[in-house]
Chain A
Amino acid sequence: MPYFRKFFVNCLALSLIAINSHADGLTIDIVKSSNNTTPIAIVPFVNDPASESLNSIISDDLARSGLFVPAKQFPERPSSSSEFVFPVWQVLGLDYVVVGKVSPNENNQSTIQYELVSSSQEKRLLGESMTIPATRWREAAHFISDRVFKYITGIDGSFSTRVAYVLQYTSEGKIRYRLDIADADGHQPRSILDSDEPILSPSWSPDGQNIAYVSFEGGKPAIYTQNLATQQRQIITKFKGLNGAPAWSPDGSKLALTLSQDGNPEIYLFELANKKLTRLTNHYAIDTEARWFPDGRALIFTSDRGGNPQIYRLDINTQDVKRLTFEGSFNGRGAISPDGRYLAMVHRRSGQNFQIALQDLQTGGVTRLTDTPLDEAPSFSPNSQMIVYATKQGAKGVLGIMSLDGRFKLQLPASDGQVREPAWSP
């Protein structure tokens, strides 16, 4: 923090202390930054190895949510609540402090103890201990982030989730494609499909055990599902024409998908148990990119039936179609937030930019969240707090993560190649 700001905060904190000491007890108002974010201090855990430290993973997690501002400097480094000198924290307005320590165990395991402490209340709020192998190090950090996040905000954390995405890379002069799954912070990617032909549109099953996607292996597009534990694959559809945009239903029983076997692209439902195929749309325009409402009773999809691509709502039972988007010349690749409140989409108003925009499903108000030229494939975190999307850094395709108000944005660590088509796990 620049010196004058620190001074100001100190003065403010002191003045607050001064006021409150006249009242009963000593209650300190937490100094929040103007963006409604909460300051928090994640102190380096004692005995934590230098690279990939727990406190840095936790700090990055909380910062990425857009709701926290992790402190970069600490007045002291306690390892537990009993070691605190509370006034030095109170004076800085840092109420929430996370501390901990790491102890090595036999069998190459570690025991991690952490505590969430309130310096204003001068007590520990939350604390746990866990014993883990080295391979689950990052998982342990994300677990602590989830716990701290939930305690303070009341919202479930999404830090232990994953993101699937497509990577286009070059090998021996040839272009190849991979479907990878990484942690929600971009780390620890693993590949579940490697192909010499394009891969598109990954979609998670609601239990997180399977992924559906489009693969052009063999030269023509087909829809596959793949089990992430066994890596077993199944062909879902491989009709003449398009086989595209698979979307797993919230109850796990069906896939919405796009087929053009009847002459032009339409939305179909494929029931996984009995392989029954039902056509839902019936229009000569392009109808594609179906996604589900969280109650499973309706879909959104992209259609150019009105002249240019817009997003429509389709009732599963009645097959009634209702237009949802009215601003801009292009609205497509919609996604509904798991809490049902928002529609995220690729949106173009005037000019050339294809941006991520958010439409409030109750008020209809549209907010543009990005201002880069070619953004796509927005996907919500399971707690509806964050959006992952595909964007470009110069000519390179990368993934971005942002808070729902678009104010906090971060690019995920870039792999060698072009990254796109992200899908946030349940």
Chain B
Amino acid sequence: MLDKKVPLAVFISLALAMGGCSTLKGKKAEEMADQNYPQGQGVQDANSATGADTNSLSEQERLKAEALAEQQRLAEQARLEQERLKAEAASMLATRLVHFDYDSSDLSSQDQRVLQAHAQYLKANTQAKVLLSGHADERGTREYNMALGERRANAVQAFFVSNGVKSSQLDTVSFGKEKPLNNGSSESAWAENRRVEIGYQQGAPR
């Protein structure tokens, strides 16, 4: 899946890049050390040079190690952020219902976020198809509620289309008040029933 590959790829390339930089830096330092101290001088000279170099070398090692740790920390943060976004997207995609106020077909901002996730998924997976089924609560008459359910399904369809989803991937139906999720007659039962269901007919997110 696209979502999985991206952060992994980012991590890998980041890691390689940083690993590469460290290697390069290390090499340069050694070369410079060799150049400053010509070959063939007295063993003592060589030894004292090595002693001074050992201190700066340790310092360089320490700096190198710190830089590496910092980069790893950043990489880890990026990875965690990617994981969080992935989990949020998965949760949005797992949400297959949006809800409505009485006699309304307006979408709340939370519902729009859910629908955005589905829109992105549908655009990335053009073989996927959804059936949007619109529903109403039990109040009012049956055929009027058929029309209300259709208005709601159409609102979701319009949102998808305006976000770039191909209309060939979308289908709608209204069941009015014929298929309630909750058979009660309370405000909360009614709120549960005023909905559009996003039903993947094929290519559903796993």
Q: Interface of A with B (CB < 8 Å)?
A: 198, 200-201, 216, 219-221, 241-242, 244-245, 258, 260, 265, 286, 288-289, 302, 304, 308-309, 330, 332-333, 346, 352, 354, 373-374, 376-377, 395, 420-421
Contacts and interface: CB of A to CB of B under 8 A. Distances in A.
A405 to B, nearest CB: 23
A164 to B, nearest CB: 15
B192 interface: no
B101 to A, nearest CB: 14
B143 A200 contact: yes
Contacts of B142: 200-201, 333, 376-377, 420-421
A242 B150 contact: yes
A345 B43 CA distance: 112
Given A288-B144, A289-B144, A395 B183 contact: yes
A265 B173 contact: no
B191 to A, nearest CB: 14
Interface residues of B, number: 22
B141 A221 contact: no
B179 A198 contact: yes
8 contacts: A221-B174, A242-B174, A346-B141, A352-B139, A374-B185, A376-B142, A377-B142, A421-B142
Nearest to B139: A354
Contacts, number: 77
Nearest to A199: B178
A421 B142 CA distance: 9
Contacts of B42: none
Contacts of A219: 173
A395 B180 CA distance: 14
Contacts of B138: 374
Contacts of B173: 219-221
A288 B140 CA distance: 13
Interface of B: 103, 138-144, 146-148, 150-151, 172-176, 178-179, 183, 185
A302 B147 CA distance: 11
A350 B50 CA distance: 96
Contacts of B174: 221, 242
Contacts of A244: 143, 146-147
A265 B147 contact: yes
Best-surrounded residue of B141, B172, B185 (most CB of chain A within 10 A):
B141
Given A198-B179, A219-B173, A395-B183, A241 B150 contact: yes
Best-surrounded residue of B142, B148, B174, B185 (most CB of chain A within 10 A):
B142
Contacts of A420: 142
Contacts of A330: 140
A245 B174 CA distance: 14
Contacts of B150: 241-242, 260, 265
Given A241-B150, A288-B147, A373 B141 contact: no
A286 B160 CA distance: 23
Nearest to B183: A395
B202 to A, nearest CB: 15
A258 B175 contact: no
A324 to B, nearest CB: 16
A302 B172 CA distance: 23
Contacts of A245: 143
A332 B146 contact: no
B103 A308 contact: yes
A373 B138 CA distance: 11
A352 B139 CA distance: 9
A221 B133 CA distance: 12
B170 to A, nearest CB: 12
Contacts of A346: 140-141
Given A198-B175, A198-B178, A374-B185, A258 B141 contact: no
B146 A288 contact: yes
A187 B141 CA distance: 26
A208 to B, nearest CB: 23
B140 A242 contact: no
Contact of A332 (B140, B172, B178): B140
A374 B144 contact: no
9 closest residue pairs by CB, A with B: A333-B141, A286-B147, A198-B178, A245-B143, A332-B141, A265-B147, A289-B143, A288-B143, A244-B143
Contact of B151 (A201, A286, A332): A286
Given A221-B146, A374-B139, 20 more contacts: A200-B178, A201-B142, A219-B173, A221-B173, A242-B150, A244-B143, A244-B146, A265-B147, A286-B148, A289-B144, A309-B140, A330-B140, A332-B141, A333-B141, A333-B142, A373-B185, A376-B142, A377-B141, A420-B142, A421-B142
A286 B173 CA distance: 16
A352 B179 CA distance: 21
Nearest to A421: B142
Contacts of B140: 309, 330, 332, 346, 354
B183 A302 contact: no
A260 B147 contact: yes
A200 B146 CA distance: 10
Contacts of B178: 198, 200, 216
Contact of A258 (B143, B151, B183): B143
Best-surrounded residue of A242, A308, A330, A421 (most CB of chain B within 10 A):
A242
